[in-house]
Amino acid sequence: MLKVVESIMGSIAKCIGMPKDPLKLFLTFILSYPFCAVLKRLPDSRPIYKQIFCLSVSAFYLLGIFNFWGGLQTLLISSFGTYALAKYVKGPLMPWAVFVFLMGHLTINHIHRYFNPLWESEVDITGAQMVLVMKLSAFGWNVHDGRRPSTELSSIQKDRALTTLPPVIDFLTYVFFFPSLLVGPSFDYAEFRRWLDFSMFEVESAAKQAVNGKPRKAPRKRKIPRSGRVAARKALEGVLWIGLWIGLGRVLSPNYILSNEFRARPFVFRIFYLWPLGFYYRLKYYGAWSLSEGACTLSGLSYNGVDPSTNKRKWDRVKNIDPYRFETGQNTYTLLETWNMNTNKWLKTYVYLRVTPKGKKPGFISTLITFLTSAFWHGVSPGYYLTFVTGAFMQSCGRAARRYIRPFFLTPDLSQPSPYKKYYDAVTYVGTQLTMAYAVQPFMLLSFSDSVRAWLTVYFYIHIGLFIMTALFSVKSVRKKIEAKLAARTVTASKLERLRFEIENARAKRAPSELHAGPDIQEALHEPSLGIPDGDVEEAVEAMQLDLAELRNDLEQFKRRTAMVSRDAGTRPKRKV
């Protein structure tokens, strides 16, 4: 069968101009949809059928399509090594032993790949092993949590804890769940088990009511809800991303930024060329993750309950990417939250929070360990570390900008955007996207020399900007000055709001004939007290203080007129000019 697949894939690859290995990977994504359609229709009362089917399809992918005999051995070593440690090591060091074993095994393969590099278009088992590291390290922690008192566990730990070690056949089906075998997404064993025994699809009491509040006559009996349309949309989305990736690959190239021709281009062209190039890098991930998520949706694993507000099912349990939010993100936080989402969950839940001592808040050590874990998980190529270190500075500067700059483009109480917020959003959007495009170049080029050459073509302009921002916000006097201005805006806004409240109350007590008193009072009442006038922040604070003085004068005039009205009810006092 392997020769037949090789022959067919070779012919198709020549016709469409696509490398053979990525085409094989695309084939596994497409085949997963009819396979998942069969999987969800196997007898619900015989889970062994589903298990055998999953293992058979995964074997076909690994051996029949990719000929990954050595890769299968790699996955089995990680799997049985984890299972043995979870079974025979009972103490609190068990999950750490699992983690070190898995990361050590992965790092050995990363080192081997580094000294024996593949062609850019080749696919090996490392991607599947990276997914497996997330699943199995989480499995070790879940087993450990199942042996601890429930009073010591958080809500998420209670939900994922395993009080008994699962049978080997269940465990292997979890490991070799074919819709997510090669590129993810990852998920915890407890979620997989609920899919296998159908407890995931039990309708909760809160969701048994229709939108109008009337209860249904009876809960639906169907085991796995219909998900064909949702899965089809994801599949179409994935195919479109892959098609766009192939199309842009004919006009964009990472090698071009290393050429003399590129260096001869104007500086503005060079920095903006990196933006679509970074988008081109992401397209293959958008396509692969969308296709695999769609297959998981068709199998039912993506089911995430019913939205009580709309009474519609949610299919986002294993969502791994949000392309729209990423491409429109205005800050580093949004980009990180919408990219490789399940990996971020794994790093937070099973690394960042686990290395934090009990009773303490995560600090620098937790952050450092998480950073190193993410770096080693990706590989040992210098390009990964150049990107991650730059990303750390991006996060730091992003937090500083949101703390010290963004508030000036909000109302003083920070509840609403000011009229100038749209300009801030435009600048931060372009700045964030250009910064990310700059930072990811080493992630694709991998080698240290090529990465430095790529950054040199744009004169390290992002690093210079990050250095200036870091140095600026590291100066205590600068921070104090900014904080003082922000405090002045807040205090001024508070006073203006209090005066507004007093004037509104006074107006409510006036005679009806006084409701249209004078233009000075009307202007004072309708003059916006929030927002930043034109000019710099210091001038804005001074202007607001002048407004405060004017409002005080208006209030005094208003009080005098109100007193005159009370003495001569029904007679409107003449207004002084």
Give tens-digit pLDDT for 161-191: 999 999 999 999 999 999 999 998 999 999 9
The answer to whether 416 and 408 have CB atoms below 8 angstroms apart is no
- CA–CA distance, 331 with 190 (Å, rounded to integer): 34
Position 53 scores a pLDDT of 97
Q: Is 378 annotated in the active site?
A: yes
Looking up tokens 């990964």 gives 384
Q: What number of residues does the chain have?
A: 577
Check 378, 463, 516, 526 and give the catalytic one: 378
In this prediction, residue 194 carries a pLDDT of 94
Q: What angle do CA 381, 437, 269 make, to 5 degrees?
A: 125
CA distance 483 to 458: 34
The two three-digit tokens of residue 232, written as one number? 């089809």
Tens digits of pLDDT across the chain (577 residues): 577 777 888 888 778 777 788 889 999 999 999 999 999 999 888 999 999 999 999 999 999 999 999 999 999 999 999 999 999 998 999 999 999 999 999 999 999 988 888 766 678 899 999 999 999 999 999 999 999 999 889 899 999 999 999 999 999 999 999 999 999 899 999 999 999 998 888 754 444 544 445 555 544 455 788 899 999 999 999 999 999 998 998 899 889 999 999 999 999 999 999 999 999 999 999 999 999 999 999 999 999 998 888 888 999 999 999 999 999 999 888 998 899 999 999 999 999 999 988 878 877 678 778 878 888 899 999 999 999 889 888 888 888 888 888 888 888 877 788 898 999 999 999 999 999 999 999 999 999 999 999 999 999 999 999 999 989 888 888 888 888 887 777 655 555 555 555 556 555 555 444 444 443 333 333 333 333 333 333 333 444 444 445 555 555 665 565 555 455 555 544 444 4
End-to-end Cα spacing for the chain: 99
pLDDT digits (tens, 9 = 90+) for 217-231: 544 455 788 899 999
Find how far residue 46's CA is from the centre of its chain. 37
The predicted pLDDT at position 514 comes to: 41
- Classify residue 45 by its DSSP letter: T
Residue 58 is classified by DSSP as: H
- pLDDT for the residue numbered 502: 57
User: What's the pLDDT at 570?
Assistant: 52
| Residue in 471, 492, 500, 495 with CA at minimum distance from that of residue 538 | 492
Rounded CA separation 329/75 (Å): 36
Nearest alpha carbon to residue 301 among 334, 337, 336, 342: 342
For the beta carbon of residue 268, count every other beta carbon within 10 angstroms: 8
Quote the CA–CA distance of 65 and 71 in Å, as a whole number: 12
Residue 312 sits at φ, ψ, to 5 deg, of -110, 150
Burial group, residue 141, by CB count within 10 angstroms (0-12, 13-18, 19+): buried
The pLDDT of residue 517 is: 40
Of 143, 1, 132, nearest in space to 74 by CA: 132
The residue assigned the tokens 């955007």 is 417
Q: What is the pTM of this model?
A: 0.80
**Residues ≥6 apart with Cβ < 8 Å to 220:** 203
Say how far apart CA 321 and CA 171 lie, in whole Å. Answer: 27
Task: Give the separation between CA 170 and CA 173, rounded to whole angstroms.
Answer: 5
Which residue from 458, 347, 440 is spatially nearest to 387, judged by alpha carbons? 440
